[in-house]
Amino acid sequence: MTVCSTTKSLCLPLALLVGAGALAFGASSFASAQDPKPPTEKPKDGPGGEPPREGGRQGRGWGRGPGGPGGPGLEGSMQAMKAASKALEKELPAKDPNAWKSISQFERGVAGAKLEEPKLIKEMPEGERAKAEREYHTRLADLLQASCKMEHEILAGKWDDATKTWNETIKPMQKPGHDKFKEDD
């Protein structure tokens, strides 16, 4: 019996969503079990103890992990992806089993970028903005899907498949996306 026979294209994203939720639940349960004593000091205002920033979200940005590169916002997310890419360029040929950490950091950067909007889109006329936002978020969703596929390949030890996904699917997505949505520096 096949559960997703009529909509196979929804099976992978649905399975990834369910798996991510289970991991998040398990990680939060594990983290709370590790440190049973309450913190000695309450956070100041924001979720990491940071004071609230004017005109923006509070706390740490999605693109920034513990000790990771970049700060909050789109730029921090892009820096996280760039750092993870550099690591993967070394780890894939070496068949380093810790490459899953780098692809996970890459995915974190993609997720952070999805929550942001490039300045170029913000400055577009209202009539063009909705279409550009859809295209931007679709490109990032495709990138996240490809990186999750690559993570599965790494975890299964399928190094040739992971390298092929990296070189033929993920890396070629960068230039067209940057050409479309990144302002010239």
Rounded mean pLDDT of 76-102?
A: 93
Task: Name 11's Cβ contacts closer than 8 Å, sequence gap at least 6.
Answer: 3, 4
As a whole number of angstroms, the distance between CA 62 and CA 76 comes to 8
Rounded mean pLDDT of 164-184?
A: 82
pLDDT of res. 117: 87
Parse the chain into domains and list their residue ranges: 65-185
**Residue 5 near residue 12, CB atoms below 8 Å:** no
113 CA to centre of own chain: 7
pLDDT of res. 101: 95
As a whole number of angstroms, the distance between CA 163 and CA 123 comes to 37
pLDDT of res. 20: 60
Length of the chain as a residue count: 185
- Rounded to two decimals, the pTM is 0.60
Q: Which tens digit of pLDDT belongs to each residue from 5-49?
A: 555 555 555 555 566 655 555 555 545 455 455 445 544 444 445
pLDDT of residue 61 exceeding 60: no
- Taking CA atoms, 89 is separated from 85, 103, 159, in Å, by 6, 11, 12
Q: Which tens digit of pLDDT belongs to each residue from 95-151?
A: 999 999 999 999 999 999 988 888 888 888 888 888 989 998 999 999 999 999 999
DSSP class of 184:
P
pLDDT of residue 64 exceeding 80: no
pLDDT of res. 53: 47
As a whole number of angstroms, the distance between CA 30 and CA 147 comes to 25
E runs forming strands in the chain: none
Task: Name 149's Cβ contacts closer than 8 Å, sequence gap at least 6.
Answer: 12, 165, 169
pLDDT of res. 43: 46
Which CATH class, in words, describes the domain spanning 65-185? mainly alpha
pLDDT of res. 25: 55
